[in-house]
């Protein structure tokens, strides 16, 4: 009796295991397939996400790229300068004039007016004869005012010369030094023309402020002369290297 019961129990347990084994094995075989499908779905989702992100980023950066290209074209080929240069090309100007006209004229102008005007300014400042010193300062102001105007005209001629020779305008150290010279000349001229920083001061305070301002103006003039010499040196390098 006990033996029959034991056989019955063990037989039923074996039957249950054999009956459940297909289900268990089915889950075991189905599980890798399910996970692989989910993994493939995840990979495709990530790929689509990256594509959407790249497309969105490209759309966002497209206007900036357009502005960058436009800025580069504006620096390399200024429309107004290029049109004027193209017009002058039709006049059949001799090539030596186009290539060497600007440096020759600027050399004469800097030597005669720039250095001469700087000398007059310092001579008037250090002259023990006050009356003669005042006249020298007045001549200095006239010469340097004309020099500043001619410097802007000379810079325009330099840009035309570069554009007519087919080179990009504004991308050389020589051009950057020209901008520096023009900025310093303009600032120093305006600073002197407005009273050397005295402003609305009166009496002794105005006199002291003007004296301090004249000192700043004088040493800034020395810096301008140094910038002019650097500009000339960089221009000479361009001529030798061309």
CA distance 89 to 165: 9
Q: CA 173, 177, 179 angle in degrees (round to 5)?
A: 120
Q: Is the pTM value of this prediction over 0.75? A: no
Same-domain status, 218 and 124: yes
> 130 and 97 in one domain?
yes
Over residues 62-96, the pLDDT tens digits come to: 554 444 444 444 455 578 888 899 999 999 899 99
- DSSP labels for 138-178? HHHHHHHHHHHHHHHHHHHHHHHHHHHTTPPTT-SHHHHHH
Per-residue model confidence as pLDDT tens digits over 191-229: 999 888 877 777 788 888 888 999 999 999 999 999 999
Do 86 and 72 share a structural domain?
no
Residue with the bigger pLDDT between 35 and 8: it is 35
Q: What is the pLDDT of residues 135-156, one digit of tens each?
A: 999 999 999 999 999 999 999 9
109 and 212 fall within a common domain: yes
Give me the number of domains the chain comprises: 2
In whole angstroms, how far apart are CA 178 and each of 94, 166, 194, 217, 231? 25, 19, 24, 20, 6
DSSP string, the chain: -HHHHHHHHHHHHHHHHHHHHHHHHHHHHHHHHHHHHHHHHHHHHHHHHHHHHHHHHHHHHHHHHHHHHHHHHHHHS-HHHHHHHHHHHTTT--HHHHHHHHHHHHHHHIIIIIHHHHHHHHHHHH-SSHHHHHHHHHHHHHHHHHHHHHHHHHHHHHHHHHHHTTPPTT-SHHHHHHHHHHHHHHHHHHHHHTTTTTTT--HHHHHHHHHHHHHHHHHHHHHHHHHHHHHHHHHHHHHHH-
Tokens of 42: 């995840």
CA dihedral 89, 157, 171, 222 (to 10 degrees): 160
Let me know whether 187 and 90 are in one domain: yes
Give the CATH number for residue 143: 1.20.120.1770
Dihedral angle sign, alpha carbons of residues 73, 74, 76, 77: positive
Among 76, 105, 125, which residue terminates a domain? 76
Q: Which of 38-47, 79-88, 180-189 has the highest mean pLDDT?
A: 180-189
Q: Percent of the chain, pLDDT > 70?
A: 68
Of 76, 104, 137, which closes a domain?
76
Confidence of residue 240 (pLDDT cuts 50, 70, 90): confident
Its domain, for residue 55, covers 1-76
**Residue 71 and residue 87 share a domain:** no
């Amino acid at each position: 009796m006990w033996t029959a019961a034991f056989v019955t129990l063990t037989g039923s347990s074996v039957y249950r295991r054999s009956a459940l084994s297909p289900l268990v094995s089915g889950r075991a075989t189905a599980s890798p397939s399910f996970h692989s499908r989910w993994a493939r779905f995840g990979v495709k989702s990530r790929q689509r996400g990256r594509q959407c992100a790249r497309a969105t980023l490209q759309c966002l950066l497209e206007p900036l790229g357009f502005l960058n290209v436009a800025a580069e074209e504006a620096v390399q080929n200024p429309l107004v300068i290029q049109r004027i240069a193209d017009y002058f090309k039709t006049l059949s100007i001799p090539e030596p004039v186009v290539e060497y006209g600007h440096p020759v004229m600027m050399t004469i102008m800097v030597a005669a007016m720039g250095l001469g005007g700087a000398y007059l300014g310092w001579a008037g400042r250090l002259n023990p004869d006050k009356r003669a010193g005042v006249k020298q300062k007045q001549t200095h102001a006239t010469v340097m005012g004309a020099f500043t105007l001619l410097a802007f005209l000379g810079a325009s001629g330099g840009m035309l010369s570069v554009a007519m020779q087919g080179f990009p305008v504004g991308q050389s150290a020589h051009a950057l030094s020209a901008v520096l010279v023009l900025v310093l000349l303009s600032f120093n001229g305006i600073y002197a023309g407005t009273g050397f920083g005295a402003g609305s001061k009166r009496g002794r305070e105005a006199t002291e402020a003007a004296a301090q301002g004249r000192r700043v103006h004088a040493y800034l003039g020395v810096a301008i002369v140094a910038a002019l010499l650097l500009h000339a040196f960089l221009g000479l390098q361009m001529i030798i290297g061309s």
